[in-house]
Amino acid sequence: MKVQYFEGGMYEHMCPACGHLHYIPVEYPFSNGCQWSFNGSLEKPTFNPDISIIGRCHYFIKEGFIEYAFNCKHHLAGHKLELPELKNKTNL
């Protein structure tokens, strides 16, 4: 799976550019009011709108691919690649 449920209505995924897990609130907004829609697919996820982690990452997740915006601060700025697989927490 490319994304998995975390807790508190959030989904997590691995960011290949920075090597960290990122969390996307779907059911309830972050304290700053940000919230995303999700197509419900763990294998080919799509989140809307774009995801911006200030000072770090700016990207889109569509149909299981992550597409980094040109203003992203990583070496993958402007690139599109498949989201990496996550290990299922229940199998750890």
Q: Mention every residue, 6+ apart, whose C-beta is less than 8 A from residue 63.
A: 44, 45, 46
Taking only the tens place, the pLDDT of each residue in 12-54 is 999 999 899 999 999 999 888 989 999 999 999 999 999 998 8
**Two structure tokens written together for 71:** 């203003």
Bridge partners of 47, per DSSP, are 38, 61
Give the largest CA-CA distance in the chain: 37
Structure tokens at 28: 């309830």
Write out pLDDT tens, residues 61-78.
999 999 999 998 889 999
Structure token digits, residue 61: 């997740």
User: CA geometry: angle at 88 spanning 73 and 40, to 5°?
Assistant: 70
pTM, two decimal places = 0.89
For the record, the structure tokens of 63 come out as 């149909």
The vertex-2 CA angle with 54 and 17, nearest 5°, equals 40
